[in-house]
Structure 1
């Protein structure tokens, strides 16, 4: 009985002992024994040949391009494919060496003609088993070559995608350079408009101080409010073209204007309350008179 296994085992045969093979061929030991010259020769042989077939799942690998696909992962995949390809090449070399050893053993068996009448059937059976093993080795070798070709195709596809990624990365760098230049120009424009913004803020601060001091008469406060609103509108119209890229600052100015209006309304309410108190006091004084 001839067995091919994926792990190292032992090979035994009856009749007599003899060494066969080398460590690289997968054989550990081989022995022969015979009960009697006239007895039927029976033997068992177990050959260690690492012929387990690695099934490739390359076609199912996800090569989709996205923001998470980095150069390091591409290099790792290329390295992994190259390592697997090297394993396939080593396996082909191993199978070729094992094939040569099997052929040498078949040749040795053919050359041995000791006790042909007693060992003929045993040798024929062994030769058939060796031929079957040799055919299996040839089939596995062909499969390994096929897997190697597929692996080479996968490596080439990955290289093509790697080149596409490199071109895309180069285009991205150009776009980033353009945006950097654009940002620098916008920053320069913002620096140039800082004086205008400071002047506008100073004017708003002055208007706040004016509003805080306008607590004498209601009509005067209303007139001042209208004047300030017109002035603020004029300022906004005058700076709209220059502050197009500074909308956030304008938004802040609008918020400050709303705060000013709210504060002015508060002062108006306080003034109205004071006026009501004054009128009540005048009425009370008039009553005492």
Structure 2
């Protein structure tokens, strides 16, 4: 019976030693794993700190960008006043262009009227010239007749003067003959009184000459008056035609000056319209270039904001994943610590039971075998009960699970054209781990 008892003791010690060795090897591997996990945790913590610093820097940069560009639509509001002013200037230029076009059309209408009047004046001038050409033979004939009558009058005057001179000479010769004859008669013998007869003849010739002279003078005056009337009539007609031609020439000159003035004004208005159109096109091109530059700048800012938001979202995701991993590792470490503590307690109880068994073996060699056997059985039963209780407690402790809920705030920022959308979501993460009653 003692040998059995002695044999039972070493068997329990070997099992305990094997368990202890296995525990030590497991503990060593677990220590190494814990060291590795601690190193990884330190690396992760350092990485989290650096990411948090980068996150803070990015948040600061994003806040600065938000302060600078609160909304991309602010760019439009910044240039809205200038755009309104430029639109107002463009509208004014359009109104001026419309007014200039209307003035140009009015000038074109006046130009057409002036052209019509000019054509009418030219037609009247041509008509007057044709009438002049028609009346010119009559005028030439009247002028030739007047010249011929004037020459005839001069010839008649010369002839009358010649006849008067001849008549006077004849009278003088007759008077001389009569006086000579009377003188001879008075000396020789007495002749009849011829003086009265001569005087009578002279008076008759004088009356005939005077009557002829009067008739010639009357005929000349009548003809000259007729010629003067015809000439004055033609002269008046020619004067009226000339005056009409002069008036038409003056009217044509005035219309020509007005036409030149209208052409000059039209050219000036067209030059103003061209200048205004060139200025408007140039300003429109400058505004279009500025708008394109602003669009490019807005696109670059949007792309930069989108990139920063994406990086920020990635950092938030990384941060959330790291926080989840850190929490998981923390719970695993806490659960492993509680399990190791429970295993250390069970091993200490097993060592106490082994000591009691060895003490019982020594007592059997010295004294009552039955009592030692009873003590050994009692110790073994007590140790087995204790170890079973301890293992049950460890199993129970390992079976206890604590569920931790962690609420994380996830901010999502996205840029949509000119608007930045921000979404804040709360996500609850459930982390399960085995802990001891001490942890609870």
TM range (shorter): 0.3 to 0.5
TM-score normalised per structure 2:
0.25
Higher relative contact order structure (alpha carbons within 8 Å, sequence separation ≥ 6): 2
More strand by share: 2
TM superposition score normalised by structure 1: 0.36
